A and B are shown apart, each in its own frame.
Chain A
Amino acid sequence: MDAGLIFYGSAIFLMVMGVFIAITGRHLIKILLGIDVFDTGLNLLIVSFGYINGGTAPIFSKYPNIFKNVVDPVPQALVLTAIVIGVAEMAMGLAIVMQIKEKFGTCNIAKLKELKW
């Protein structure tokens, strides 16, 4: 079993799981959790793209002797952004769910019939 199968496979497994939870879940918080799991899988996938065989983390702790074989730092920097955006999105989503719960008394999307709020 090669490393690519493990890394890509687990990231995509998380994404598949997230999509499945988000489209079958009936509870709003469950849907949000599905989106969050999807987000995590996507972040792992982007970090896996940056891997280079034999590479280490792009931190040169012994400065003058630079080790040339490091992994790609750009996807890691992008994922740092994506994680923060994910947190912001989750916070907003949870706030909206709290308002829906207060207004309709339920979080079950099958019982939220009105289109107009």
Chain B
Amino acid sequence: MIRRLIALLVSLYLGYILYSFVYVHFPFGERPLRGVAAHYVENGIKEEGATNIVTSIVTLYRGFDTLGEVTVLFLAATGLGLILAGMKREEEEKPEPTLIMETVTKHLFPLVLLFGSYIFIHGHLTPGGGFPAGVVIATGYFMMFIAQRSFTPSEYLLSATESFAGTLYVIVGLLGLALAFSFLDNVMPLGIPNRVFSAGIIPVIYIIIGFKVGSEMTGILLHLKEA
């Protein structure tokens, strides 16, 4: 009891320090838009062609960062497979999924995949992009794991998709290095903003990221389910 009280006091004190610091140094909403942020907002559409400024920051201005992020996710998926390798759960009888569950998920699954693809194709126009889309697709697969007993995607296909998408991402980056003298530069025509076929390589990168994150998250869920 006394330990919990001390822990509560310590965490509340931490929160108090943080709150007073934040409140003094960053008054809410009163910071002007300046520095790189102002540059991104003012010139983002002219320079990169995407109407969603966050997308152009993630994929182009800080594209190298995103490549590193994708690598971290890949390392996590690989490490998970390594840690869980050789773990076999003893067979226990699980309840059979009901008819409603089975039918609904069977018909919902293509719609979930379609929605995921919609999100990553329209990443430069609307909120979203490759990462949320990948998670949506993995959620669809997770639904199938839970509700359908016989459904298991091929692990080989998953890792092949993942490796192919990762290699393609680096190749797109090297294309920028070769044609525009800057890694991950926008080498394709920008087009008219607010169209699906615009913003140069942003949709290409987001489609690659969507495939990569989707297969990676599905692989993680598959490993966790099977271990």
Residues of A in contact with B (beta carbons under 8 Å apart): 2-4, 7-9, 12-13, 15-17, 19-20, 23-24, 45, 48-53, 55, 57-61, 63, 66, 68, 70, 72-74, 76-77, 80-81, 83-85, 87-89, 91-92, 94-96, 98-99, 102
Question: A24–B19 contact, CB under 8 A?
Answer: no
Question: A4–B127 contact, CB under 8 A?
Answer: no
CB distance from B6 to the nearest CB of A (A): 9
What residues on B are CB-neighbors of A3 within 8 Å? Answer: 28-29
Q: Which of B1-34 contact A (CB under 8 A)?
A: 3-4, 7-8, 10-12, 14-15, 18-19, 22-23, 26-33
Bound Cα distance A13, B4 (Å)? 17
Bound Cα distance A83, B12 (Å)? 25
Bound Cα distance A84, B14 (Å)? 26
Partner of B40, one of A2, A7, A61, A73: A73
Partner of A95, one of B4, B19, B28, B83: B83
Count A-B contacts at CB 8 Å: 151
Question: A59–B52 contact, CB under 8 A?
Answer: yes
Bound Cα distance A9, B19 (Å)? 7
Question: A72–B19 contact, CB under 8 A?
Answer: no
- Contact segment of B72-80, B103-111, B112-120: B72-80
Question: A16–B52 contact, CB under 8 A?
Answer: no
Bound Cα distance A29, B119 (Å)? 32
Bound Cα distance A76, B79 (Å)? 28
Bound Cα distance A63, B42 (Å)? 12
B65 at the interface (CB under 8 A from A): yes
Dominant secondary structure of chain A at its interface with chain B: helix
What residues on A are CB-neighbors of B8 within 8 Å? Answer: 20
B99 at the interface (CB under 8 A from A): no
Question: B14–A58 contact, CB under 8 A?
Answer: no
CB distance from B61 to the nearest CB of A (A): 8
CB distance from B8 to the nearest CB of A (A): 6
Question: B40–A24 contact, CB under 8 A?
Answer: no
Residue of A nearest to B74 (CB): A88
Residue of A nearest to B27 (CB): A4
Closest 7 CB pairs of A and B: A4-B28, A88-B76, A16-B15, A58-B53, A53-B29, A77-B57, A19-B11
The 0/1 profile, CB within 8 Å of A marked 1, for residues 192-203 of chain B is 011000000000
Question: B54–A23 contact, CB under 8 A?
Answer: no
6 contacts between A and B (CB under 8 A): A45-B22, A48-B28, A88-B76, A98-B84, A98-B224, A102-B87
Residue of B nearest to A25 (CB): B7
Bound Cα distance A60, B125 (Å)? 8
Question: B18–A63 contact, CB under 8 A?
Answer: no
What residues on B are CB-neighbors of A23 within 8 Å? Answer: 7, 10-11
Bound Cα distance A61, B57 (Å)? 17
Question: B75–A98 contact, CB under 8 A?
Answer: no
Question: B76–A92 contact, CB under 8 A?
Answer: yes
